[in-house]
Structure 1
Amino acid sequence: MNFIKDLDLTSQIDALILKPAEFSDFELLQKIKGLPFISVIDEIESQVSELVKMKNPTKYFSPSELLKEAEMFLSKFDKEKYGVWVYYPWKNSLVHLLPEEDFIAVRTVRNKYKITEEEQMELARKKIGIIGLSVGQSVAISLAIERSFGELRIADFDTLELGNMNRLRSSVTNIGIEKTKLVKREIAEIDPFLKVTIFEVGLTDENIDSFFVEGGKLDLLIEECDNIKVKIQSRLKARSLEIPVIMDTSDRGLLDIERFDLERNRPLFHGFLSKFGSEDELLGKLDTIKYEVLMAILDYEKISKRGKDSLQELGKTITSWPQLGSSVIMGGAMCAHFARKILTNKKVNSGRSYVDLDQYFNSNNES
């Protein structure tokens, strides 16, 4: 279909939001609806019912009363032109949703009062960058579910592989697709009004400035990549721009926070790299001391026993440091939690914390 090609929907990256009250969008809506392979999902009455309940919190509605209220509400409009329709080309699906403001209000209604209205509005103005989409995927989805950003910038050069799927929630139908594209799609299916900008080649010398400042400076960086050079470069950049950094390592529930926004001269990684000389010299000699730098970043003595056992097997029986889905999901949630606290100006200090479930419950006396 030429109209799909003209709209560049064949790339299957972006959801298309149609406002059928506008003539051109209504025409396009009819064309998409007419395609034989399109699945049309119209549950607008259910969403209006939720809207009615939200606006009348003290009133009890029986199911029949609520249905009547929703029908009365929709009778004021041309139902097909009410709200928005979202076309998801990768799913060949067309979904009818509430208008943006009402959609956001209903979708976040159960955030109250865990997140205040003022905090939710503040978060909607924030820009967050995520580098690396293993833990980073869980962080991104947690942030999107809570609606803790206005724009999310995600950087990863990799595609989904079968071996990723012990810790990345996805489908075998997505193997071979860029991780950035998959995360952007998943967020669009949760909330098509959230802005997600992708850097599908990862963070590079060429795009690092765009990632950090184009369209407005980042308010927070969440760094979850495997590349030691990028770990250091991204922190140097964040510090120069006074941007706080969060990292989770998926071992013993380690969460690392560097408040470069509050401490302009704070050493990278809390000074763990100072034994290698000045930060200016570090990148130049990184190739020869990469493993030692990694162990310093991870604080080797505090790595779990099984984590240390895994490190001993690198290049022998395994090719990369194992991560478990449970640890990645927990790390994603912790990063999202502290991201929200930092972005809403709650007191969060620099430092490292461990949420070690094995140690806490003394499971098999194993850390």
Structure 2
Amino acid sequence: MSHIKDLDFTSQTDALILNPEENNDYQLLIKLKELPFVSIIDKIDSQVSELIKLKKPSRRFQPAELSEEVDLFFRDLDKEKYGVWVYYPWKNCLVHLLPEEDFVAVRTVRNKYKITEEEQQQLSHKKIGIIGLSVGQSVAISLAMERSFGELRIADFDILELGNMNRLRTSVTNIGVPKTTLVKREIAEIDPFLKVTVFDSGLTEENMDSFFTDNGNLDLLIEECDNIKVKIESRLKARSLGIPVIMDTSDRGLVDIERFDLEEKRPIFHGLLSKFGSEEEVLGNLEELKTSVLMSILEYENISSRGKYSLMELGKTISSWPQLGSSVIMGGAMCSHFARKILTEQEVNSGRAYIDLDQYFNTDNES
């Protein structure tokens, strides 16, 4: 019997898509099915029933009628060779899915008409970059669920630690796994046809050009990293290429949008750093200006009271800026929302806004 190490699917981040109509893929599929540790999930009848209902939306099927329609669908087809089989090596799991076009149609049917068919097609060609995978993880998953991109480029050098798990939705079995790997795997399990390109060293001077321009320029950057130098340099690069930028800070629901695609000379961070000199001077003196620059970027006077207290405790009782899971999930959803609107050419202006839930209800007024 073949062992998994002998087969050509050793990657622990890439799902292997097999087309059983192709002989080599079919032979590999047979080998995989013979392996005792590979679990097989074949729910193709259920997916075909959804496809049938999608194509006949005005008809209300009784369960027996729908079952008959599925049997009729497969009457002249070899069910095992229909569609694709996807192997997930990190789970030793083989899944039977609809062909790509039908898979996408069924998976996005509940997007209609919140997202029009024309917009969904438009989004399928867009390239989005995400730097930093705390809030960035929630953004990436939200974008993938709505299928708001054709390619996603993700950059983070960090691995999952236990202390990340107050805000990253994952399993303790993944402690020590690179965050880029976690996001790529999760998206592949949602939709194996989506392209995810990984930069597992984070964004660096060496790979910045590749991140922004390989196989075509990014259409949008979502910046969620902690490194102030990278925050500045990535915006300068985005502006030079006319790429809009979105950021969420996970405090008081702050969403920050810079439309460098519409305003090629717009100062980064809305000019909040101009008091420190030119952008080049800020970068050159960043080591001594770091704290002041951070306070300006965050607009310290607008930070929540608990956020301000947390800043005072940095390096004393806590070692890094706190983020809550609820804030990160909300930030991911908001970034995804504005990303979709920008990429489908709806009106979104540069600026920043606070979606501060505490101001609407009688809470303990964290703001």
The answer, yes or no, to whether TM exceeds 0.5 is yes
C-alpha distance in 2 between matches for 1:190 and 1:36: 25
C-alpha distance in 1 between matches for 2:56 and 2:314: 59
Q: How many residues align?
A: 367
C-alpha distance in 1 between matches for 2:268 and 2:58: 52
C-alpha distance in 1 between matches for 2:114 and 2:146: 10
What per-residue deviation string (whole Å, max 9, x for no partner) do you get for residues 135-169 of structure 1? 00000000000000000000000000000000000
Larger mean Cα displacement after TM superposition, 346-355 or 68-77: 68-77
Question: Counterpart in 2 of 1:84?
Answer: 84
Q: Which amino acid aligns with 1:100?
A: E
Q: How does 1:209-248 map to 2 (within 5 A)?
A: 209-248=209-248
Gaps of 5+ in 1: none
Question: SS of 1:233's equivalent?
Answer: helix
Q: How does 1:1-367 map to 2 (within 5 A)?
A: 4-5=4-5, 9-367=9-367
C-alpha distance in 2 between matches for 1:313 and 1:66: 61
**Structure 1 outlier segments of 4+, above 6 Å:** none
Alpha-carbon offset, residue 5 of structure 1: 4.1
When the two chains are superposed, the root-mean-square deviation of aligned CA atoms in Å is 1.1
Larger mean Cα displacement after TM superposition, 357-366 or 131-140: 357-366
- Work out whether residues 242 and 262 of structure 2, in 8 Å CA contact, stay in contact via their aligned partners in 1: yes
C-alpha distance in 1 between matches for 2:8 and 2:250: 38
Alpha-carbon offset, residue 76 of structure 1: 1.9
C-alpha distance in 1 between matches for 2:273 and 2:135: 23
Query: For the structure 1 residues 37 and 3, does the alpha-carbon distance in structure 2 shift closer, same or farther, using more than 3 Å as the test?
Result: closer
C-alpha distance in 2 between matches for 1:143 and 1:366: 29
Question: SS of 2:166's equivalent?
Answer: coil
Alpha-carbon offset, residue 364 of structure 1: 2.3
Q: Which amino acid aligns with 2:60?
A: Y
Alpha-carbon offset, residue 35 of structure 1: 0.7
C-alpha distance in 2 between matches for 1:285 and 1:320: 23
What per-residue deviation string (whole Å, max 9, x for no partner) do you get for residues 46-79 of structure 1? 0000000000001110011101101110122100
- Work out whether residues 135 and 331 of structure 2, in 8 Å CA contact, stay in contact via their aligned partners in 1: yes
TM-score by length of 2: 0.98
C-alpha distance in 1 between matches for 2:24 and 2:196: 25
Gaps of 5+ in 2: none
C-alpha distance in 1 between matches for 2:6 and 2:357: 52
Identity of aligned residues (%): 77
Alpha-carbon offset, residue 359 of structure 1: 1.4
C-alpha distance in 2 between matches for 1:237 and 1:366: 36
Question: SS of 1:218's equivalent?
Answer: coil
Q: Which amino acid aligns with 2:118?
A: E
C-alpha distance in 2 between matches for 1:6 and 1:112: 44
C-alpha distance in 1 between matches for 2:355 and 2:281: 34
Q: Which amino acid aligns with 2:228?
A: I
C-alpha distance in 1 between matches for 2:328 and 2:365: 22
